[in-house]
A = this chain, B = another copy of it.
């Protein structure tokens, strides 16, 4: 239905209350802030958003809050993939009912060593159960969390079987060759890189852009790359963004990004995480903030 906006997307963080429930007000404020400062869109309830640490009911509250906030559908993708197909169906239907159309769908991730045929059937059963022409699905290829590496053959099979519904992939494997091959060999299939390290390369390869965790704190500079990608400044901007990304990814992503948000905004509650994730210890936090200052990230977040 809705085509997603090309550019740099943030997989947005989820701010928490003292009892570790979702602070929906702060959540929507963070989403607006990201959309106002250069993000093409936000992916709610992704890995960075700690989605799998929340029950289906808690995730439904987020979807409802996004709908009430009237965030434009072209700028929203919602993570809906669970281990249990009925949960994936419930969440995906809720996304459509809320007026959005695009989801990022993890495959079931408990069992390992399953066949691509099994993964295909996992996606097929959900899409067939929903059976709604409005639905747009990005497959979520993140083998470090799921244990499943998705081949080009597998993506082609899904894309061919569910033309118009399966629209692309978010590739968080770090495997540039796979991203490039999918752009080249699957015309029309949208390949989001899972890191801004490949933002310029994926735009040049014909992809829509990146979906990134670090975009929570670096969206302005990523928006600059997107705006200038055909200019001769593009490579220098990309080099700077890559350098920042490589610096920040020395730390556990979600705790580090929440630490930066806490330090830059002065709101200590940004540090809260659902177990098994834990905050950085004092030494790591100090080192991260030094690095984030040296990369001008902290100042950029604090300034806005």
Given contacts A109-B110, A145-B111, contact A276 B84 (CB under 8 A): no
A56 touches B56 (CB 8 A): yes
Determine the distance from Cα of A85 to Cα of B108 in the docked complex, in whole angstroms.
18
Q: Which B residues lie within 8 Å of A87 (CB)?
A: 55
Residue of B nearest to A119 (CB): B276
Determine the distance from Cα of A110 to Cα of B107 in the docked complex, in whole angstroms.
12
Question: For the complex, is A86 an interface residue (Cβ under 8 Å from B)?
Answer: yes
Contact with B along A121-137 (1 / 0, CB 8 A): 11011000000000000
Contact of A86 among B54, B110, B111 (CB under 8 A): B54
Determine the distance from Cα of A58 to Cα of B84 in the docked complex, in whole angstroms.
10
Given contacts A111-B145, A112-B144, A145-B110, contact A86 B275 (CB under 8 A): no
Residue of B nearest to A21 (CB): B86
A110 touches B278 (CB 8 A): no
Which chain A residues (13-62) contact chain B, with CB distance < 8 Å? 20, 47, 52-58
Q: Which B residues lie within 8 Å of A85 (CB)?
A: 20, 53, 274-275
Which chain A residues (226-259) contact chain B, with CB distance < 8 Å? 252
Given contacts A117-B278, A278-B114, contact A86 B58 (CB under 8 A): yes
Residue of B nearest to A110 (CB): B52
A275 touches B118 (CB 8 A): yes
B275 touches A55 (CB 8 A): no
Question: For the complex, is A69 an interface residue (Cβ under 8 Å from B)?
Answer: no
Copies of the chain in the assembly? 2
Question: For the complex, is A83 an interface residue (Cβ under 8 Å from B)?
Answer: yes
A113 touches B275 (CB 8 A): no
Determine the distance from Cα of A85 to Cα of B276 in the docked complex, in whole angstroms.
10
Residue of B nearest to A53 (CB): B84
Q: Which B residues lie within 8 Å of A268 (CB)?
A: none
Contacts A52-B84, A122-B275 known; list 16 others, CB within 8 Å: A20-B85, A52-B83, A52-B110, A55-B86, A55-B90, A57-B86, A58-B84, A85-B274, A111-B145, A111-B276, A114-B278, A118-B275, A118-B276, A118-B277, A118-B278, A121-B278
Q: Give 16 pairs: A residue, B residue, CB < 8 Å, sorted on A.
A: A52-B111, A53-B85, A55-B56, A55-B84, A83-B83, A112-B144, A113-B252, A114-B277, A115-B276, A118-B275, A119-B275, A119-B276, A121-B275, A121-B276, A122-B276, A124-B275
